[in-house]
Amino acid sequence: MKKIFSIAFSLTAASVMLTGCMFEQDDFFDESASLRIQHTNDEIQDLLCTQSTEGNGWVLQYFVAGTDDYSFPGFNIVANFTKNGKVTMASDHAYLRNNNAGKYTEASSLYDMLSEEGPMISFNSWNDILSVFADPMDPSQAPGTLVPDGFGMGGDYNLIVMSYGKDEIKLRGERYMARSRMIPCNMDPKDYIDACNAMKSSFCNDIQNPLTLTDGKTKRYVLNLHKGDFTVNDRVDDPLQSEQMSCVFTPKGLHIEKPHTLGGNEESVYQDFVFDTEKLIFVCEQNPEVKLLPAYDNAADFFNHTLTTGLLWKVGVSESASESMAAFLAKINSGMKGVVSNSKFKNIQLRGEIEKNKDGEILNRYMYVNVAYTSGIANLESTLSFKCNFTENADGFTLSGDLTPDNTNATKYKDKALVVEILDYFKDATFTLSDTAPSITRTEVKLTKSGADDSWFVMKY
């Protein structure tokens, strides 16, 4: 107990005494602040090392702050710690150097438990897995220089511990303040990384494939989730409101860097999602009412949406097709060299284009039908490109008008018999569209030509 005692002053022979206030103040801690932080650091290190020796280490779901020009996804790093200050990290991220980008790699270095703004884990010696994110010179020699201004990627190697327990350690970068966390790794490090990649590849692809984020009342649209660096918009096309977010993929779903609310509703907080393999949707762990669903209910809506984005759909001889269409594609494949000498058929392509006025009103919808082929020693790709109008309908689209040449090659070869046969197939044709298999994101659709039930084919992008 700390005490401050009163002082008596003798003023007269009668000894008039004024007594000051006596009070006692409790000392709420038995240890100094520095000693308390040291003990906390010891507890955290015990957690780190115990899970590393008795389990498979920790998954560091690591995030960087990014720059004004670049944003980045989150990164999965499996870390194993020893009491003597050694950490071994494993990852396959795209910014590994020495030609290791995208390859599973392990690297060991030193770490320390420091006391700055509080308990802190400091990865203060170079580690090929982590240090590249905090390198101010060049964030990535792996794919090339992305940020040459000395800022790097906005990553930290000093991570302040915000809270800790055996199931989760929440972290914040000391300088750039991006939030990361560690959770116990429940499998071999390489198996964990592979499982995360499998989750990503099971529903994601390299082309925009929008999802709906909803709690049943409010809707937002998620674009480019496959990158792990995505946006949540008020609408798919030409959004008025857009929020940038980053996530890491997990074996069961995904984890977003920070918690967010849907439409400002505090009850609709979301951060972690688990993939429901039966319903093919993502369900939020914080609030199961919040879900990630396909933005388009059917193949026709999705396909017609992509026609406004310039997405290129393709069908070649290797794609699934009806017997008659497979025979037609085989005929094109064998006959293309008779159209363009020394050429090889590659695929038929469809691409949409929307013409709008200055007020955003649609004036025309165009469809490009391309016959792609390679030629020459270098096998350079070229196309015969033809253009016509199209209209959308509830279950597909209809082409209308003549298919007119849209490039020099098309003009040159438009009267060749095989080319005329291809144009006749698509002229004024109506196609219905359907899914080939249930999926949360579509990578292919089935097109069936109306009036010819045996004429269908699958297109991919």
Residues of the chain with pLDDT > 90, as a percent, come to 68
pLDDT for 5 equals 27
Mean confidence (pLDDT) of the chain:
88
Strands (E), 63-210: 75-81, 86-91, 105-110, 112-115, 119-122, 158-164, 169-173, 179-184
Among 14-28, 190-204, 268-282, 304-318, the range scoring the smallest mean pLDDT is 14-28
C-alpha pair distances (Å), 228 with each of 72, 93, 138: 8, 12, 21
Q: How confident is the model at residue 58 (pLDDT cuts 50, 70, 90)?
A: very high
DSSP H helical ranges for 185-246: 189-203
Q: Is residue 422 classed exposed, middle or buried when 0-12, 13-18 and 19+ CB atoms within 10 A define those classes? A: buried
Q: Residue 21: is its pLDDT beyond 80? A: no
Q: pLDDT-derived band of residue 207, with 50, 70 and 90 as boundaries?
A: low
Confidence of residue 437 (pLDDT cuts 50, 70, 90): confident
**Residue 18: pLDDT band with limits 50, 70, 90:** very low
Q: Specify burial of residue 248 (Cβ count, 10 A radius: 0-12, 13-18, 19+).
A: buried
Q: Kind and range of the H or E element at 246?
A: strand 242-249
Q: pTM score, two decimals?
A: 0.81
Q: Write down the pLDDT at residue 149.
A: 55
**Rounded CA gap, 77 and 57, in Å?**
10
Q: Which residues contact 433 (CB under 8 A, 6 or more apart)?
A: 298, 299, 300, 303, 395, 396, 397, 445, 446, 447, 448
Comparing C-alpha atoms, which of 322, 248, 259 is closest to residue 60? Answer: 248
